[in-house]
Amino acid sequence: MRYLPARIALLAVVVSGTSPFTATAQDSETNPYTSRIDLRMGRRVFQAQCASCHGLNARGGNESVGPDLTTGRFQRAESDGELYRVIRDGVQGTAMVGTGTDAPEQELWQMVTYLRSLTEVADAPPGSSATGQQLFTGTGSCADCHMVNGDGGRRGPDLSNIGDDRTPDDLRTSLTDPDAEVHPRWWTMRATNGSQAHEGLRMGEDSFSFRIMDENEQLRSFSKYGDWTWERSERSTMPAYGDQLSTRQLDDLVAYLFSLRSDP
C-alpha cells in the first residue's frame, strides 16, 4: 500500500512522455511552498539565476533580454503549475531556457511564490505613503527607533527595504501586535542590583555575561556572577499602536512602509 503512490507517479511520467497532451502533475497541484521564508528563498534563487535576463527585481528593463515579470499577467502561464513548468522547461526557441529537471522541486515552487508575490504588489495598500512618512518621522516617533536610508535610531530594525519582503498585512501586524514574532536580536534584558536597574536590547549573551543597549543607545556589559540579577524578555520593546493610532493613520504608515524598497 505504501508504494502505490510512487507507482502511480511513475505511470504518469510514462504516460505524459508518450501522450500528445503536455499537462503534468504540476498543473493540478497547489504550491506547497508559500511561506514568507519560501518567498525569500525564491527571491534569492531568482536573483542568482534569473536576474541576468529579467533584472534584479524581475522588472525587466531597457538592457535586459527577459520580459518584466511583475505585470500581473504571464503570457506563457496561468496556473501556478504552468508557471512552475515554464521556469523548469523554459520557452522553446527563445532565450528562456529554464532550470532543467535537475532543479529541486522546492526551489522551483519557491520561485513561483516569489513571482506571485510581485504581482500582488499591484494591490497597493489604501493609505497615503506621503502622510505615512510624515507620521513616521514626526509625531509617530517611529524614527526614534528605526533607521530609514541612514536617518533614525538603532533601537529597532533598519526599515529601509522593509517593503521588499513584507506584505501590507505583515506590516499592519507589526504595528498592532509587535510581540507576534520577535527575532532574538530584539529581545531585552533587565539587570538589577538593590539600588539600580538597567534595561535594554540584548546585544550579546553567553554563560558568564551579557551586554545591553539602553534607550540612549548606550552599551553596558554585566557579569552574570556579580551583584546583578537579570531577567530576559522575549517581548518587543516596540509599543503596540492599535489603540494609539487611528485606522487611517495605520493605513498611511503601512502604505509608507510598503513603499520602502531596494528598487522603488
Q: Give contact residues for ligand HEC (rule: CB under 6 A).
A: 46, 49-50, 52-54, 65-67, 69, 74-77, 83, 86-87, 91, 94-96, 99, 111, 136, 140-142, 144-146, 155-157, 159, 162, 166, 171, 174-175, 178, 182, 186, 236-238, 241, 253, 257
Least distance to ligand HEC from the beta carbon of 237, Å? 5
Q: Of how many residues is the chain composed?
A: 264
Distance CA 246, CA 253 (A): 11
Measured from the CB atom, the residue of 83 and 212 that comes closer to ligand HEC is: 83
Largest CA distance in the chain: 82
Measured from the CB atom, the residue of 214 and 263 that comes closer to ligand HEC is: 214
Contacting residues for 192 by C-beta, under 8 A, at least 6 apart: 198, 228, 229, 230
Measured from the CB atom, the residue of 157 and 209 that comes closer to ligand HEC is: 157
Least distance to ligand HEC from the beta carbon of 119, Å? 11
Measured from the CB atom, the residue of 74 and 228 that comes closer to ligand HEC is: 74
Ramachandran bin of 125, using left for φ above 0, alpha for ψ from -120 to 50, beta for the remaining angles: beta
Least distance to ligand HEC from the beta carbon of 36, Å? 10
The CB density around residue 10, as the number of other CB atoms within 10 Å, is 10
User: What Rg, from alpha-carbon coordinates, does the chain have?
Assistant: 24
C-alpha cell at 54: 529579467
For β-strands 188-193 and 229-233, DSSP reports them as antiparallel
Measured from the CB atom, the residue of 160 and 192 that comes closer to ligand HEC is: 160
Least distance to ligand HEC from the beta carbon of 225, Å? 28
Least distance to ligand HEC from the beta carbon of 108, Å? 8
